[in-house]
Structure 1
């Protein structure tokens, strides 16, 4: 009896770990050698995507002390970290005006000083839109940020279309909460509908440009549209 119990225990406790697939090994190697991953750890950013927003904001000065920002698809919170610092929503610069940062995500987002997160909220849902004016000074935001993306299906064109759909939904959100003259920065994956998305943005913003920050991997189809000087559409 002891022998069989002992053998069973030995088998379960010493099972060899599952061998990682080639794709998993390549991903781990890329992460280990990625300078932005290393820098995000050193600077306590929640993920490397923070450097995409930092690079864009350094060039175009979207985020100023005192303004209101809504971060769509905020998890895990790296873009909100950048926004909190740049708009001074945590009040760390007593001589500068305090801004506001609201983050929205279907997932749970860990608390961050200076940000108010609406976890388990759908950014495309009108019920979510209705909550935002009460959280923003004057009921309006100066900047909408979106680094959100759908879960990958493995079919590139389908994923591209779904992400374009998410970006288009931000125009409904903009109509609810974006100030005249405000800005929208949204991620998209390059593909057949990119020009359609750009045309739609051009209908309500004075300028729209496509950006590929250095922190975006060269082999990725990821790009960003920066739309500036919002003109609220006239209904009817």
Structure 2
């Protein structure tokens, strides 16, 4: 695995050279299933994730964002919301040095939370089968965090899709708004929050909430996000704790 602390993330864009796009057919699969599987096979980020031992392609979204905005630094404490299967936590572990692989750098902390089970990862402490919106989960995190505060909250979580775009958008905005309660309890003043959302009619509500809580809020869309996807990310920095 390459060292994500020091290798420029722009190099991942050359991974398209590793794949040759060609028609793929899968016996017994519907047309929609075949299209999805063919997209996976022809996706350079899927292949790169396998080669670099990331748990899924979403790692490259966080790598791109961090390379540009310098969010994760050695010694920081991170909460990864909706962490399963753990790809964002892998990136965070490397960037904040929570596994202590660089003894010359400050050692950070990574805590991942998900309703699903998350396989163990050196340098990360996972709370599997836990609800990030639950006060009990907040209390557990507060006990685990050094000085009871995190420097960064990450969220790539999303609800199970219903296929109704407006409903899915509304549910994800609601999940993102719940992160403001988490921030109020556990985010250090001056801290940052990165959360995924699907664009839609309630985007302004989420942006307004973030603007009230953070000094700087911007929208980012990494190249690793598929062009046809409605997903975007809000990067909110300099938390103003009330």
Deviations 1:96-148 (A, max 9, x none): 01100000000000000000000000001111011111111111000000000
SS at structure 1 position matched to 2:169:
helix
Partner residue in 2 for 1:145: 154
Q: Give how far 1:92 is off.
A: 0.2
Partner residue in 2 for 1:226: 235
Aligned partner of 2:87 among 60, 78, 88: 78
Partner residue in 2 for 1:21: 30
CA distance in 2, matches of 1:126, 1:191: 29
Matches within 5 A, 1:108-119: 108-119=117-128
Aligned partner of 1:209 among 214, 218, 224: 218
Q: Give how far 1:160 is off.
A: 0.2
Which portions of structure 1, spanning 4 or more consecutive aligned residues, are displaced by more than 6 angstroms? none
CA distance in 1, matches of 2:87, 2:208: 29
Partner residue in 2 for 1:178: 187
CA distance in 1, matches of 2:106, 2:33: 45
TM-score by length of 1: 0.91
SS at structure 2 position matched to 1:138:
helix
CA distance in 2, matches of 1:23, 1:155: 17
CA distance in 1, matches of 2:40, 2:142: 39
Partner residue in 2 for 1:103: 112
Q: Answer with 1 or 2: which has the greater Rg.
A: 1
SS at structure 2 position matched to 1:203:
helix
Tell me whether 1:38 sits opposite 2:39 in the alignment.
Answer: no
Partner residue in 2 for 1:5: none
Q: Give how far 1:18 is off.
A: 7.4
TM-score by length of 2: 0.89
Partner residue in 2 for 1:65: 74
How many pairs align?
217
